[in-house]
Amino acid sequence: MTQPEAAPIDQRYLVQQRKVGTADKDVPVFARAMRSKEGVFEGVSFIRNKDKASVMTLAEANQVIEWAAKKPLAAAYVTTIICKGQ
């Protein structure tokens, strides 16, 4: 009898951030999660390159949103979770 395969981890989310009230011409930025060598979440940097952004699970994306909401300028930005293909 063989062991059932583990379900693949649902890692298909990106976190996008835009300035509140700006025109569509403004380029959104995307989250790149920073983790320690042990894999512990340490913070986020927001980058323009969507291809280099961190692809995350929904739980990890929510962790990024919570972290971003604690920053001093958080009210100036709208931070959302999007699917990788969007």
Task: Give tens-digit pLDDT for 4-49.
Answer: 566 676 779 999 999 887 666 678 999 999 999 998 999 999 999 9
Domain membership of residue 74 as a residue range? 13-83
| Residue 68 placed within a domain | yes
Number of domains in the chain: 1
Query: Residue 27: its pLDDT value, please?
Result: 84
User: Does residue 59 form part of some domain?
Assistant: yes
Residue 5 lies in a domain: no
Residue 2 lies inside a defined structural domain of this protein = no
Q: Across residues 59-81, what is the average pLDDT? A: 93
pLDDT tier for residue 84 given thresholds of 50, 70 and 90: confident
3-state secondary structure the chain: CCCCCCCCCCCCEEEEEEECCCCCCCCCEEEEEEECCCCCEEEEEEECCHHHCCCECHHHHHHHHHHHHCCCCHHHEEEEEEECCC
Tell me if 6 is assigned to some domain. Answer: no
Say if residues 30 and 53 touch (Cβ distance below 8 Å).
Answer: yes
pTM beyond 0.85: the answer is no
In this structure, the strands spanning 13-19 and 29-35 are antiparallel
